[in-house]
Amino acid sequence: MLSDDVYTIELRGLTYRGRHGVFPEERRRGQAFRVDLRLVYEPGTLGDDLARAVDYARVERLAAAHLEGEPVNLLETLADRLAAALLEEFPPLLRVEVAVHKPEAPLEGTFDDVVVTRTRRRVVTAYLGLGSNLGDRRALLRQALRRLGSGPGLRLAAVSPLYETAPVGLEDQPPFLNAVAAVETTLFPSRLLVACKQAEAAAGRMPGVRWGPRPLDVDILLYGDLTLRSAHLEIPHPRLTERAFALRPLLDLAPDAALPGGQPLAPLLEGLRDQELRRVAGPEWAAPEPGIGPGAGPGAGGEEAP
């Protein structure tokens, strides 16, 4: 399920006159249509800045443009187009629910209303940094990919080459194997974080010294173009631009990757040349081992999150 820690904006009873319908008379004379909107986003994405906020007035104008605009035959089409337009217009929105009412529908019997509801979730490409320096490092990273590629609301899209890197922060520990995975997800950032922590726990990670040795580390590096600052999560990852072991495999997957706002990441890698980084395998390292089954490689996916 999605996180309960969300904000919702609801606009109810927006009423317009439109010419939607199958019958010529509906197109000729028009009729009243009403729409209810429920817009969902995660705390920490907006701040107190109207320029980044979901402006109610802009939402209303978009609804009016669709309900008063080009006629369509079906309420389903109208609701779907409005839902898609809201997600495109307002990047912070992660889910929208659009209910279109047609109280004057041409029915013979007595009725109160006809309503069609459409829910759309934004599908986001997120980049996850993976690392391990305890146990069978490569096997633990593959195990994490299997979990992250098959969970509800997650699909593993691509995996970077594998790098061996020197530890950062606490130097007296074994070297790490590091990679980056691209996932397509409908999970809110907070729920994606939960999935990452569950993968770490499944690998046997326990609370310990910060930056100390660990069987698995999974970090959200980027989540689409979203910027988020909350008590538990910061996106982009606050040290992404300082770590070659995250930037290099990320750029292998997405050479044009940029921070929210458009700053390219590739030039920043030039300033990290002093960080030890050794490529040990191409993306084929992530392929399932014999006998594991088909679920580990890129392209495996689970059903959409409820």
Domain end point (choices 97, 121, 145)? 121
Tell how far CA 98 is from the center of its chain: 20
Q: 133 with 193, same domain?
A: yes
Q: 230 with 243, same domain?
A: yes
d(Cα 88, Cα 148) in Å, to the nearest integer? 26
Q: Look up the CATH number of the domain holding residue 18.
A: 3.30.1130.10
DSSP string, 220-247: EEEETT--EE-SS-EES-TTGGG-HHHH
Q: pLDDT at position 3, please?
A: 44
In a domain, 2, yes or no: no
11: domain range?
7-121
Tell me the average confidence (pLDDT) per consecutive run of 10 residues in the chain, 306 residues long: 68 97 95 97 66 84 97 98 96 93 95 97 96 93 93 93 86 87 94 94 76 85 90 91 95 96 93 91 85 42 37
d(Cα 184, Cα 34) in Å, to the nearest integer? 34
Q: 102 with 217, same domain?
A: no
102 is annotated as an active-site residue: yes
Q: pLDDT at position 212, please?
A: 61
Q: 11 with 92, same domain?
A: yes
Reported as a single tens digit per residue, the pLDDT across 222-259 is 999 888 888 888 999 999 999 999 999 999 999 999 99
Closest to 245 measured CA to CA, from 127, 129, 126? 129
Domain count, the chain: 2
Q: 135 with 271, same domain?
A: yes
Q: pLDDT at position 289, please?
A: 64
Tell how far CA 275 is from the center of its chain: 30
In a domain, 47, yes or no: yes
DSSP bridge pairs for 33: 16
d(Cα 48, Cα 81) in Å, to the nearest integer? 29
* Contact by Cβ (8 Å): 43, 230: yes
| Catalytic residue, candidates 66, 95, 101, 102 | 102
Q: pLDDT at position 51, please?
A: 63
* pTM of the complete model: 0.81
Closest to 254 measured CA to CA, from 126, 105, 71? 126
